[in-house]
Chain A
Amino acid sequence: MKRLINLKRSEYRLMWGTYAAVTLAFLVLQAMIATRSLSASMRGMLVPICAYMVMAVSLNLVVGVLGELSLGHAGFMSVGAFCGVACAIILQKAVPAAPVRLALSMGAGAAAAGLAGFLIGIPVLRLRGDYLAIVTLAFGEIIKSVFNNFYLGMDKAGLHFSMLSDTTGLLKGGRMIINGPMGIGGIRKIATFGAGFALVMIALAVVFNLVHSRYGRAFMAIRDDRIAAESVGIDATKYKMIAFVVSAALAGAAGCLFALNYSTIVANKFDFNTSILVLVFVVLGGQGNIPGSLIAAAALTVLPEKLRSFADYRMLLYAVLLIAIMLGKNSAGARNFFARFRGGKEE
């Protein structure tokens, strides 16, 4: 545990504080479930919140720590969801224990998304700034189109797949797994809140340890000044690739968890708007601020539900709140306004 000892006090406190807070929140929620004091709609949101937390933490690694804007994070979630769920369906007979199957599926989803991240990273990471952002957007849309036209079926003879139209020609008794634009149907909902909690903890452990290691220092050096970082011998492309692949793999696991919480899943669920949603979590929570991402993801997933009493005005209010928070956090006028109350100095 040499690495942990080397941490600064504040970093150490932040890391263990986050683990403790997440564990505490999990235990409180479990207690609330046990005593039936949690509403059904909130109970249904626990797993998606965990998935979004992992998405936010993983995107924060790329956007906050590495400093590259990615607009296609939902694409990796999609790869993880489809590969993971397909894996869960294929293993249904071979692995009867649901938790083991869930873990294997999430592993498969993470591996597939990590591979996709590696392949996409080769061209993407050559670009910079807004051009990099638009190419990640493009890949997100391509992944969506591909899954919308992908057919995968399973029968006694094995797996069959086809593109564009269903030519899998399944034998009798075969099962269509991915059915083009209809997505995957009839999923057994094996995702549990406990698994979600475990995934959040794993994601936190991976990201915290990565950020506090030699790799993390390299990421931040590249973010702050790429040229200076390269001049002291940091291989920018290599480190960017590491961050990108880790982020994609975590997103894939989150996507698998998310999908296994629903009975059907379609490719259009993971579109540009989902990528943007996760980006909003990251920016609102603070770039590079891991606990901030967790809080923002949870708050913004619950918020539309809590605004339900405003009925039709719900999303409008959400938009207004989003703008107001961004203005309040960033505009000089608002900062001076608050500083006056705190007795601080005006800028």
Chain B
Amino acid sequence: MTFLNFLISGISLGSIYAIIALGYTMVYGIAKMLNFAHGDVIMVGGYVCFYAMYRFGLPPAAGVALAAAACTMLGIVVEKLAYKPLRAAPSLAVLITAIGVSYFLQNTALLLWTSNPKVFPSVVGRGVIRLFDGRLSVSHVTIVTICSCVIVMSVLSWFVAKTRLGRAMRACSEDKAAAQLMGVNVNATISATFAIGSGLAAIAGVLLCSAYPTLMPTTGSLPGIKAFTAAVFGGIGSIPGALLGGLLLGVIEIFAKAYISTQLSDAVVFAVLIVVLLVRPAGLLGVQRQEKV
């Protein structure tokens, strides 16, 4: 039964990683850039929701919606100001700019909201459901997290597969020049991808802070790196890959904490990543592209 408990909390943590990893993987798939500022968008989402709920007394649903809207806007603005001028620049320059944006967001948060950790009260309360005479306990947060992940994933899969914008995204990720020739507005599509990714980051931020209720300007960094790892784990650029990578990473992390060692859990997670990449160099669900000369 303890095994099942660990499995459920692993899946719950993994769901959060998966939602964050989606943002990384979508942006990477289209803009071919590692958006290191993504983790800090999570933190901004957490703070917006926190203030909406506890300063202005809005209901949780409104808080989440506001956080998602704010982060979507933030994603668009950052993309327009910092990344768009660098479309033709070498990828390392874009990477460093993303790091600059990450520092910028963290330090703005530090000035606006100070470094004192805020206790983020859960958006769905702290209720717990007990099953099998209380041997298996599942908190409401866990259920909401897992459900959100399923919903986000199905909506996004439908969106990318069926809608016009989704098709444009897939076209851009295959070949930008060819997409442009077919009449796809590549710049608008990239902006839309950033917007969607950042909106998802806000939702992930709220879920993360509900499950682990300390909110600081650096809250997003480590989950950001872990989710990035998850995206690579599943095969960066692939949406089902982000889900699989996120879930596996969450489960491995919780099991490593439970059965191996709390302090070494991060090392175990990264070691598994290395082993997976050695066996499948493009991640679990990634496509190994043949190089043509």
Using Cβ atoms and an 8 Å threshold, which residues of chain A touch B267? Answer: 141-142, 145-146
Using Cβ atoms and an 8 Å threshold, which residues of chain A touch B293? Answer: 227
Evaluate contact between B107 and A148: CB separation under 8 angstroms.
no
Contact with B along A208-242 (1 / 0, CB 8 A): 00000000000000000001000000000000000
| Interface residue A319 (Cβ < 8 Å from any Cβ of B) | yes
Using Cβ atoms and an 8 Å threshold, which residues of chain B touch A319? Answer: 100-101, 103-104, 107
Q: Which of A297-345 contact B (CB under 8 A)?
A: 312-313, 315-316, 318-320, 322-323, 326-327, 329-334
Contact with A along B255-293 (1 / 0, CB 8 A): 000000101101100110110011001110000000101
Evaluate contact between B107 and A131: CB separation under 8 angstroms.
no
Evaluate contact between B92 and A323: CB separation under 8 angstroms.
no
Bound-state Cα–Cα, A149 to B268, Å? 13
Using Cβ atoms and an 8 Å threshold, which residues of chain A touch B99? Answer: 276, 280, 322
Q: Is the interface of B mostly helix, strand, loop or mixed?
A: helix
Bound-state Cα–Cα, A332 to B86, Å? 8
Evaluate contact between A331 and B89: CB separation under 8 angstroms.
yes
Pick from B92, B107, B225, B271: contact of A142, CB under 8 Å: B271
Chain B interface bracket (under 10, 10 to 19, 20 to 34, 35 or more): 35 or more
Evaluate contact between A322 and B232: CB separation under 8 angstroms.
no
Evaluate contact between A334 and B100: CB separation under 8 angstroms.
no
| Interface residue B201 (Cβ < 8 Å from any Cβ of A) | no
Using Cβ atoms and an 8 Å threshold, which residues of chain B touch A323? Answer: 82, 97, 100-101, 104
Bound-state Cα–Cα, A330 to B85, Å? 8
| Interface residue B157 (Cβ < 8 Å from any Cβ of A) | no
Using Cβ atoms and an 8 Å threshold, which residues of chain A touch B86? Answer: 326-327, 330-331
Using Cβ atoms and an 8 Å threshold, which residues of chain B touch A148? Answer: 263
Evaluate contact between A145 and B104: CB separation under 8 angstroms.
no
Chain A interface, number of residues (Cβ within 8 angstroms): 46
Bound-state Cα–Cα, A128 to B291, Å? 12
| Interface residue B182 (Cβ < 8 Å from any Cβ of A) | no
Evaluate contact between B264 and A332: CB separation under 8 angstroms.
no
Using Cβ atoms and an 8 Å threshold, which residues of chain A touch B111? Answer: 312-313, 316
Closest B residue to A312 by beta carbon equals B111
Which of A10-18, A97-105, A132-140, A258-266 faces chain B?
A: A132-140
> In the complex, given contacts A227-B291, A287-B90, A330-B86, what are 12 additional A-B residue pairs having Cβ atoms less than 8 angstroms apart?
A127-B281, A131-B283, A134-B229, A138-B229, A138-B270, A145-B266, A272-B225, A276-B99, A283-B92, A319-B101, A327-B82, A331-B85
10 interchain residue pairs of minimum CB distance: A331-B85, A138-B270, A319-B103, A145-B267, A330-B89, A319-B104, A322-B100, A323-B100, A316-B107, A326-B97
| 28 pairs of residues in contact across A and B, judged by CB atoms under 8 Å | A123-B278, A126-B278, A127-B278, A130-B34, A130-B236, A131-B232, A133-B34, A134-B228, A139-B274, A141-B270, A142-B270, A145-B266, A149-B261, A164-B264, A227-B291, A276-B36, A279-B96, A280-B96, A280-B99, A287-B90, A319-B101, A322-B99, A322-B100, A323-B97, A323-B104, A330-B89, A330-B90, A332-B88
